[in-house]
Amino acid sequence: MRGAVLYGPRDVRFEERDEPRISKPTDAVIRIAAACVCGSDLWPYRGIQPVDQPTAFGHEYCGVVEEVGSSVTKVKPGQFVVGSFFASDNTCPICQAGYQSSCVQREIVLGAQAGRLRVPLADGTLVATPGMPSEDLIPSLLAASDVLGTGWFAADAANVKPGGTAVVVGDGAVGLLAVLSAKQMGAGRIIAMSRHQARQKLAREFGATEIVTERGDAGVARIKELTAGLGAESVLECVGTQESMMQAIRAARPGGHVSYVGVPHGVQLDGAGLFFAHVHLHGGPAPVRQYLPHLIDLIWNRKINPGKVFDLTLPIEQVAEGYRAMDERRAIKALLRPEARP
C-alpha cells in the first residue's frame, strides 16, 4: 500500500508503506473513501514543529470497515464510518463528560493519507453512517472527521447562544466551519475576520453576517465599534498564533467566552492581562467524537454542506501538491482521492 510520509520541512513523499493490520482486538482496519490535508499538518510541513523521523501523515478519514478485531462489536465490515484524530474508548469518565480527545486510553490516529488505515479502539472511535453515502456526501462526511468537528467545538466552547454575537478569528477551513457551526447554534450575528475574498464569500455562504478585514489593534477596535464598545459575547480563535489569540481575547467582552481550537504555537498568555480581560477561556483538541452522531445526522439530511471547504481535489499520489497549495494559501483545503476506492 502507498501512503503519504513526511520526511522533513516541505518534503512529503507518497511511497510504499506497510499494510495496516489488526494488531489489537479493539482495532479496525478501514478502506479510505477520501482523505485530506489538515491545516495543522502545515506546522510540521513548514518546519515550525520538528519531525524527528519519517512519519505517516493524515488524521482525517472516512471509509468502509474492512476488518475488525475480535472484541469489536459496535461496527462491522461493510459499514461506512467516520472517526477522528484521537481514538477514544468512549466509556471512561473523561469520554462520558464529552472530552473524548482526552480519553484515558486515547491514541493518535495517523497515516490516513493512504488507501487503508488502522483505527484503534474502534468501538469507541468510529461512528457508522445510516447506510452507504452517495458520492456527493463524502466530502462533508470527511469534513466531520476533523475540521467541522473542530469548528463545532470552537462554537460550543465559546458558548455561542441563540441571538448572540460570535466573532471568528481565522478563515481557514476550521474558521469557516466555525462560522457554519455558530450559525447552526443560532448566533444572531457572526463576524468573520478575513482578508481573503474567496474565503469571505464562503464565510457568508456559511452564515457570516459581517466581515472584518482589519487585524490586531485595528481588528479589535473594529469589533468594539460593531458591539457598542463592549466586545463580543463569543470569540472563536481558529488559528493558534500569539497574534490571533490576543486578538480573540481582546475582542471579547468582560464575562464573554473565548475558545481556541488550533494547537497554539509559541503562544504565551500574561496572567494579569487575562485576569482583567475577565473572559472565559476554553479550548484544546476538539472532542469530535462527542459531536459526530449529530454532525453525521445534519450532513445525511443535507441540512449542512461543510464539504464546500474542499476547493481542490487531487488523486492521492499528488498529495505533495495538496500540501503546497495549502501552504501557499492557493487552496482552503485539499481532498485526496485514494487509488482504489471502496
Give contact residues for its own copies (rule: CB under 8 A): 93-94, 97-99, 101-102, 104, 228-230, 240, 242, 245, 253-255, 260, 263-272, 274-285, 287
Q: How far apart are CA 190 and CA 82, in angstroms?
A: 28
Least Å distance, CB 264 to its own copies, is 3
**Of 6 and 245, which has the nearer Cβ to its own copies?**
245
Q: Could you tell me the smallest distance in angstroms from the CB atom of residue 239 to its own copies?
A: 11
Q: Which is nearer to its own copies, 134 or 268 (CB)?
A: 268
- Residue 51 vs 64, nearer CB to its own copies: 51
Nearest approach in angstroms of CB 285 to its own copies is 7
SS3 category, 26: coil
Q: Are 109 and 83 in contact (CB under 8 A)?
A: yes
Kindly state the smallest distance separating residue 271's Cβ from its own copies, in Å.
Answer: 3
- In angstroms, give the least distance from the CB of 272 to its own copies: 5
Whichever of 138 and 277 has its CB closer to its own copies, that residue is 277
Q: Do strands 55-56 and 62-68 pair parallel, antiparallel, or not at all (unpaired)?
A: unpaired
Close Cβ partners of 218 (under 8 Å, ≥ 6 residues apart):
none
Q: How many CB atoms lie within 10 A of CB 244?
A: 23
Nearest one of 44, 82, 90 to 60, comparing CA atoms: 82
- How far are the Cα atoms of 11, 70, 121, 125, 339 from residue 258, in angstroms, in the given order? 35, 43, 32, 28, 41
Closest CB to its own copies among residues 260, 323? 260
